[in-house]
Structure 1
Amino acid sequence: MSSSSNQYPFQPPQHPETQCIHAGKVKDAQYGALATPLYQTSTFVFDSAEQGAARFAGEQPGYIYTRLGNPTTRELELKVAALEGMADAAATATGMGAVAASTMAFLQQGDHLIASKAIYGCSFALFNHQFARYGIEVSFVDMTDHQAVAAALQPNTKMLFAETPINPNLVVLDLEFLGNFCKKHQILSVIDNTFLTPLLQQPARFGIDIVIHSATKYLNGHGDVVAGIIVSDADKIQTIKLTTLKDMGATISPHDAWLIIRGLKTLSVRMERHCSNAQKVAEYLAEHPAIAKVFYPGLPDHPGHKFIGKQMAAAGGVLAFELNGSLDDGRYFINQCELLSLAVSLGDAESLIQHPASMTHSPYTAEERKMAGISDGLIRISVGLEHVVDIINDLSQALVKMQGQQKRPSETLTCNL
């Protein structure tokens, strides 16, 4: 047995399933607690005035104030950094805190940002409505068109921001192209990786500088936290922590960090089920006569399907679709769902259904939604962890009711989203 142990020495955990549980964890030296201790404190006591001064000056390691750092939060940051294959991370109070902190730390008046024409509604509102107030110019482009990305480049371009797959229409972008483009032109690249998590996609492998997540979603996975996280190299994370996070205050609470650490322990098994269920739901909807089109990279006819195995390990747990019918038909259909919850967000154990045009992407004008490829009839589902037969049965009964309603055109539908 001794020769066996010499032949197979212990190595640091490398597999992401193991990292979800063990990465970043510090042994509890005082009590030996298995679970991560929750340091629910706003401030930390110094042994002396000299120690406090040394910590403020950055001359001595240690914690000062939870807005500036906390042991529970630090474990979360190191865990997600390990999963993304990057050096460091900064946890934030919300996903939008991560978007704002990661962009505003490196942009200033007179700079130019290239952003994908379809992104989460509040990210769009920040760039399109708020950045203009501070003299930051933004160009929204179709990033599947590489010539359009190149044409958007200006002498003052400092950053490129995108999601892939894109929320809500599941367009997949070529990370290798975007990473190479940004390196060539010496601009920062920021990718929102919320939809796939580090288990299914690691943008840093393709040269992306900064990766962000709404940790509210799959990383936590239980619908009881709002949070975000930014992952990058140590210098960029230090810049973000000492500027936008410190001064604007969008830092996470220790309790929320603790809940996400707990959620991460089951991330790998949850993502397997989310992906498996979503694939089966997408295949069911693609064959249904009441469905005009399904948007899901796991389907062979989806333009993003070619990236599975190259850029993405799987297609994820979110899909969207268009009904054969009117906007009122869509409203009626959603209201007939009984198992699926009518709610925004995604990545929860429960299956969620929503109408992007009137909900998550309402900050877009009708014309802006049209340009971004977000139709009024688009419906998005975050496929949950329920038995897939029950999910499909609920969709089936709602579609049957909608089709029955379509046969009564004289009736006026009054249900509203």
Structure 2
Amino acid sequence: MSDKQLATVAVRKGIESDSQFNAVVPPLYLTTTYGFSQLGDVPTFDYSRSGNPTRNMLGEALAEMEGGAAGVVTNCGTSAINLLATALLGPDDLLIAPHDCYGGTYRLFNSRAEKGDFKVCFVDQTDPLALAEALALRPKLVWVETPSNPLLRIIDIAALCRQSAEAGALVAVDNTFLSPILQQPLALGADFVVHSTTKYINGHSDVLGGVLVSKDPEQGEQIAWWANCIGATGAPFDAYLTLRGLRTLAHRMRGHEENSLAILAFLQQQPLVGHIYHPSQPSHPGHDIALRQQKGFGAMLSFELAGSMEQLETFVRELRCFSLAESLGGTESLICHPASMTHRAMSDEAQQEAGLKPTLLRLSVGLEDPQDLIADLAQAFAKSAEVAV
């Protein structure tokens, strides 16, 4: 663990590391291959799929921020998840995953299990009995998503890690929604942390990427070997842009969170807003756990529209400061309809079991002026209220 604050690590990583021209900002290495000094020698870098100075610098920065031993940067978040499954799991191994996880994660685990690559058990990890029954099956890996996407359910990471260790299982936590600025799962007992760096870490909606951080150095080497073997590593230019985005992460997260809390207060007063999902609310399941393991509540929130689908469609259509789009964590505000967008890979039955209703909307609150965001929401609600039910 670094003795520096996380914001300092994010800003300073690689600064003044250029020994050739003394550039303050580290250079971008776009080369695919590297020279060998002589026959028989193996240099630090030989081919950019297996190692690249720019990509390695990003991996080292994220590992340091998460308190891990090694970070492998991949070409997208799903690739990081797939890399972990590939490196750890065989046909007889069981993976436990949350029943309400991100739709792409659900699709990946379910599809690979159907192929016979490993076994998967989707379970409500907030249900102590269901979780205990799943752990009794002696899984190899437990996948955790907290806060969950899109219902922001909270899992007690430390407690689950203790239970998983007793069952002989490793634990991996998707930390995409909070970033290392607001949550550090390895310090709570997890073995791996995964991020879609596409989201808050890059922060500008212009680069796909992922990272898999390992607590144990040997497991980190194993992950890196598999990343090279299957070609999961990210591109140098993407790593360069992501490292640039990382430098402002701490300040962006504060701005995102301030805006989201302002919008939350507004939504709580709207007659067309039904149930709101946000861990800051005392009534939110796991609120006390969030206070204990998180340094903030993040900028994601979801709510159910208390009206018809016609009113929901009108509301979304009338928005001007919220773009209807998938993804999250960029400077711009986004609105998403999980049932038809991010989670459409799940069957209707799976969505229902996970608690995803057709009237659910998810907001990724950006860095626009909160007054403009609230005014935009207000006018869209007003237009929706004019629609006959």
Taking structure 1 as the reference length, the TM-score comes to 0.90
Within a 5 Å distance, the mapping from 1:33-112 to structure 2 comes to: 33-51=23-41, 55=42, 62-112=44-94
Report the CA distance between 1:135 and its aligned residue.
4.3
Q: Matched residues in 1 for 2:228 and 2:154: separation?
A: 34
Which of 172, 183, 187 is residue 205 of structure 1 equivalent to?
187
- Match for residue 225 of structure 2 among 231, 242, 248: 242
Q: Which amino acid aligns with 1:398?
A: A
Query: What's the CA shift for 1:83?
Result: 0.6
CA contact (8 A) 2:55 2:234 kept: yes
CA displacement at 1:156 relative to structure 2: 4.9
Aligned with 2:295 (options 294, 310, 313)? 313
Deviations 1:65-93 (A, max 9, x none): 11001000111011001110111110000
Shift of the alpha carbon at 1:332? 1.8
Counterparts of 2:117 and 2:238, CA distance in 1? 34
Structure 1 stretches (4+) deviating beyond 6 angstroms? Answer: none
| Cα shift at 1:184 | 1.4
Runs of at least 5 residues in structure 2 that lack an aligned partner in the other structure: none
1: distance between equivalents of 2:185 and 2:193? 7
- Is this contact kept in 2: 1:111–1:157, CA < 8 A? yes
What is the alpha-carbon distance in structure 1 between the residues aligned to residue 372 and residue 225 of structure 2?
A: 48
Q: Separation in 1 of the partners of 2:126 and 2:13?
A: 35
Residue from 17, 37, 40 that aligns with 1:27: 17
CA contact (8 A) 1:116 1:161 kept: yes
Q: State which of 264, 274, 279 in structure 1 corresponds to 2:261.
A: 279
Alignment partners' CA distance in 2, 1:189 and 1:24: 30
Q: Which residue of 2 aligns with 1:348?
A: 330
User: C-alpha distance in 2, partners of 1:13/1:150?
Assistant: 37
Match runs of 1:107-122 below 5 Å: 107-122=89-104
Equivalences for 1:319-338 in 2 at 5 Å? 319-338=301-320
2:294 matched to 1:304? Answer: no
Q: Which one of the candidate residues 218, 222, 228 is aligned to 2:210? A: 228
Assess if the C-alpha contact under 8 Å between 1:275 and 1:316 holds in 2. yes
Of the three residues 127, 133, 145, the one matched with 2:115 is 133
Describe the SS at the equivalent of 1:18. helix
**Partners in 2 of 1:118 and 1:129 — Cα distance?**
16
User: Partner of 1:182 in structure 2?
Assistant: 164
* AA at the equivalent of 1:147: L
Q: Is the 8 A contact 2:15 2:25 kept in 1?
A: no
What is the aligned partner in structure 1 of residue 198 from structure 2? 216
Contact 1:42 1:66 (8 Å CA) reproduced: yes
**Cα pair 2:113 2:119 within 8 Å, conserved:** yes
Q: C-alpha separation between the residues in 2 aligned to 1:84 and 1:368?
A: 32
Q: Secondary structure at the match of 1:360?
A: coil
User: In the alignment, which residue of structure 2 is the partner of 1:365?
Assistant: 347
Structure 2 counterpart SS, 1:49: coil
3-state SS of 1:356 partner: coil
For this pair of structures, how many residues does the alignment match?
Answer: 387
Contact kept? 1:282, 1:299, Cα under 8 Å: no
**CA displacement 1:23-53 (0-9 Å, x = unmatched):** 35561111111112100011111111122xx
Q: Distance in 1 between matches of 2:16 and 2:73?
A: 18
Amino acid at match of 2:56: R
Q: Distance in 1 between matches of 2:16 and 2:162?
A: 36
Code of the residue aligned with 1:37 in structure 2: it is: P
Q: Is the 8 A contact 1:24 1:78 kept in 2?
A: no
Amino acid at match of 2:133: A
In structure 2, distance between residues paired with 1:377 and 1:261 = 37
Q: Percent of counterpart pairs with the same letter?
A: 39
Answer with 1 or 2: which has the greater Rg. 1
Structure 1 portions without partners, runs of 5+? 1-11, 56-60, 410-417
79, 82, 106: which one aligns with 1:124: 106
Whichever residue aligns with residue 28 of structure 1, its letter is D
Separation in 1, partners of 2:137, 2:357:
34
Deviations 1:324-372 (A, max 9, x none): 1122321221111011111110000000001000000001111100111
| Matched-pair contact (CA < 8 Å) for 2:28–2:237 | yes
TM-score relative to the length of structure 2: 0.97
Question: Which secondary structure does the structure 1 equivalent of 2:220 belong to?
Answer: helix
